[in-house]
Amino acid sequence: MKTNVRTSSIEIYRELKSKKLIGKMQYDVVSYILVHGNRPLTRREIEEGMGIRGSSVVARINELLNRDMQGNSRYNDDKTLNPLFQSNNTILIERPKRQCNVTGNNVMPVVVNRGEIQRSIF
């Protein structure tokens, strides 16, 4: 199935993949968001759309919210804050609360942080 994906979205996805900054399921989440126009999606909307368990989606999104474009995690292995982590440079960012189309609850959707990804590419 072919989808209408902007060239810039494809380039971002390929760059993330080539830099090996994130794992396969994380790539799948990023790709799903980009394929859907990088519009703010809730975790449940992503779960329903991808057809995977919610706990897997939530875990991958949390990882992407806590990893910067240099591959640094927010926390060290001993759970202390990593001084190298750049919180303004994460792969995913949360947007203002809105009503989820699946649950009807007001939640914070996520988008790919395209500005930071593009700055890290060039």
Can you give the pLDDT at residue 21? 58
CATH class held by domain 7-121: mainly alpha
Average confidence (pLDDT) over 90-111: 94
117 half-sphere exposure, CB direction, 13 A CA radius: 26
H helix and E strand count, the chain: 5, 4
Q: Is 113 in a helix, a strand, or coil?
A: coil
Mean pLDDT for the chain?
A: 80
Half-sphere exposure at residue 103, Cβ-oriented, CA atoms within 13 angstroms: 16
